[in-house]
Structure formats: C-alpha cells, structure tokens
C-alpha cells in the first residue's frame, strides 16, 4: 500500500515568516494529495488539496506544490500568524481496485512565535 513520510515533525517559526512542510509518497498511482489542519482538541479540517494533473495550487497565504516525478509534495504557508499554530497532516490517495482511501503522514506540529 501507500506509504507517506512527512518532515519535519515539529516546526517553530517567527510570526510573519514562512513555513514549509514536505511529504513524500511511494505509490506512483496516487492522484490526490490533501492537507489537513488540526487545532488542539479539534477535528482535522481540509485546508488545501491538489490533484496529480496540476503542479501548484494557491489559496491566499497557503500553497501546495506537487512533483510527480520525485513523488513529493509540499505545503507553504506565508506570512504566518499565531492562528496558524496547529498540527498539519499530509495525505495521499489510494484509488486502486475500487478502494478509495487516504494514507496520512505522521503530522507536523507548527508553532508560530509572536
């Protein structure tokens, strides 16, 4: 099955700086790559996703890039704010043989210092 690795496990940035989280995946057939944000004690919520037919997607201060050849994708957060502090998870899809499921990375705890 799919194996997703996520780095770093923790990330501390100064408010206003950028944060970058990187993920690699193993299955070249994966075609959907979402990013979830989980605030303390809350449920994970989708913040951005990308499909394999595009290389980059932006939504205000958040962007995701995908390199299918290298099988890695990254989350970029610019102009970080205290409310960006949370755990971020990347995931990759497995839509093989009619099974629609996601494999998640281990998560990155982001702390934005005021």
Partner 1 sequence: DGGITQSPKYLFRKEGQNVTLSCEQNLNHDAMYWYRQDPGQGLRLIYYSQIVNDFQKGDIAEGYSVSREKKESFPLTVTSAQKNPTAFYLCASSILVSSGRVNEQFFGPGTRLTVL
Q: Which residues bind partner 1 (CB under 8 A)?
A: 1, 6, 9, 31-32, 34, 36, 42-46, 49, 89, 93-95, 98-107
Q: Which is nearer to partner 1, 3 or 18 (CB)?
A: 3
The sign of the dihedral angle between the CA atoms of 19, 21, 22, 28 is negative
Q: Are 26 and 73 in contact (CB under 8 A)?
A: no
Find the shortest distance in angstroms from Cβ 57 to partner 1: 14
Nearer to partner 1, 44 or 80 (CB): 44
**Least CB distance to partner 1 at residue 13 (A):** 20
In 8-44, where do the E strands start and end? Answer: 10-14, 19-25, 32-38
Nearer Cβ to partner 1, position 74 or 93?
93
What's the CA angle centered on 75, arms 66 and 13, to 5 degrees? Answer: 150
């Amino acid at each position: 099955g799919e194996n997703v690795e996520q780095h770093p496990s923790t990330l501390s940035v100064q408010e206003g700086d950028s944060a970058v989280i990187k993920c690699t995946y193993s299955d070249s057939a994966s075609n959907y790559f979402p990013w979830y944000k989980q605030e303390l004690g809350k449920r994970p919520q989708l913040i951005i996703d990308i499909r394999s037919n595009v290389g980059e997607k932006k939504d205000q201060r958040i962007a995701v890039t995908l390199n299918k050849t290298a099988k890695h994708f990254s989350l970029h957060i610019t102009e970080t704010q205290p409310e960006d502090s949370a755990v971020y998870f990347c995931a990759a899809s497995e839509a093989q043989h009619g099974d629609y499921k996601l494999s998640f990375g281990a998560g990155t705890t982001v702390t934005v210092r005021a």
